[in-house]
Amino acid sequence: MMTSSSIPLQLSDVSLVAEAAGSPDDPPVVLLHGGGQTRHAWHWAVTELAQEGFYALAYDMRGHGDSTWAPDGDYSLDRLGDDISGITDSLSRPAALVGASIGGASALLAVAERDIEVTALVLVDVATRFLPSGADQINGFMAANPEGFTSLEEASAAISEYLPERPPPSDLSGLRKNLRLGTDGRWRWHWDPQFMFGKDKPSASQHTDRLDRAVIRLGERGVPMLLIRGARSELVAPEAVDYFMTLAPHTRHVDVAEAGHMVAGDRNDKFSDAVIAFLKEVVPGDRVSRKSIP
């Protein structure tokens, strides 16, 4: 069984925590989760990437999971980009970045605007245009229950109401990684409330023109890109993918059936297969096993 380790990274104002698997001698892949999630959203993908010859690092975003909260409450896309710069600077060679939702939007801007050298960029259910109804739905779920839950069962019921297509877990222990138990005995999501309610919260939908320019810039640089969309995505419509492809025609695109916005959580098997096949094709490195390339 592939083992993983927890790795801290001290930046200027926060300490980030990553789950790493594989050998540091292998080509690095950095995974950046979406808002309200933690590094554990990538657990199976990290394991499978390591098994296929990559060094996989899944980071808790600032204010999430075991990473520290922003002391000034700044969770803007630019500040998240600062963290991505710090992560890539800490590695001995360029990495592939895999970013979901706001993690993908911040990675796209950081790589394009800061000229970060990467081997590839995988965007998971994030483009440059978004469905307002889907954004409202996601934000509504994250903003609900600010006082938390009385039990893990209550939290699980809230998730099932939001994601009725996903079977509820038979073992609730995994929820402990996404919730924190307060001194008042209530369970709250494992992220800083300022991420949602602060004045410097991230908002990709307010930066569509900036995202457009970033995609064009990466296309001009020839950065290999893969756009993975959940076929049932409430946030990214097929038309948004078509528009993205007009900006950077060399981009690969995969729709994952039976998956919504949280693609890896809904269909990790199909998600991991798509990411691994793409990275094996475009990431240089003799240590990567290439037996699974279609």
Does 292 have pLDDT greater than 50?
no
Does 290 have pLDDT greater than 50?
no
Rounded average pLDDT over 268-291: 83
Residue 174 — pLDDT band, cuts 50, 70, 90?
confident
Cα–Cα distance measured from residue 110 to residue 131, given in angstroms and rounded to the nearest whole number: 23
Q: What is the pLDDT of residues 51-80, one digit of tens each?
A: 999 999 999 999 999 999 999 999 999 999
Residue 3 — pLDDT band, cuts 50, 70, 90?
low
Task: Read off φ and ψ for residue 203, nearest 5 degrees.
Answer: -155, 95
H-run or E-run covering 15? strand 15-21
Q: What is the pLDDT of residue 1?
A: 41
* Structural domain 4-146+193-282, CATH architecture: 3-Layer(aba) Sandwich (3.40)
Residue 91 zone, left/alpha/beta (φ > 0; ψ -120 to 50; rest): beta
Find, among 33, 60, 77, 73, the residue nearest to 203 by Cα. 77
Q: What is the pLDDT of residues 100-112, one digit of tens each?
A: 999 999 999 999 9
- Highest-pLDDT range among 143-152, 203-212, 224-233: 224-233
Of residues 15 and 284, more confidently modeled: 15
Pairing of strands 28-32, 15-21: unpaired
Q: Answer yes or no: are the C-beta atoms of 141 and 162 closer than 8 Å.
A: yes
Report percent pLDDT > 70 for the chain.
Answer: 95
Rounded average pLDDT over 80-93: 97
Considering the entire predicted model, what is its pTM? 0.93
Query: Can you point out the beta strands (E) in the chain?
Result: 4-10, 15-21, 28-32, 55-59, 95-100, 118-124, 179-181, 187-189, 225-230, 252-256
Residue 174 zone, left/alpha/beta (φ > 0; ψ -120 to 50; rest): alpha
Q: What is the pLDDT of residue 164?
A: 86
Residue 205 — pLDDT band, cuts 50, 70, 90?
confident
Residue 288 — pLDDT band, cuts 50, 70, 90?
low
Q: What is the pLDDT of residue 4?
A: 67
Break the chain into its structural domains and give their ranges: 4-146+193-282
Which residue type sits at 120?
A
Average model confidence (pLDDT) across the chain: 92
If you ran DSSP here, which 8-state letter would residue 239 be given? H
- Token pair for residue 263? 């693609």
Cα–Cα distance measured from residue 141 to residue 250, given in angstroms and rounded to the nearest whole number: 35
Residue 93, SS3 per DSSP: coil
Which residue's structure tokens are 């939007």?
105
Cα–Cα distance measured from residue 260 to residue 6, given in angstroms and rounded to the nearest whole number: 29
Q: What is the pLDDT of residues 275-285, one digit of tens each?
A: 999 999 999 86
Find, among 57, 68, 63, 61, the residue nearest to 7 by Cα. 57
Please state, as a whole number, how many other Cβ atoms lie within 10 Å of the Cβ of residue 212.
17
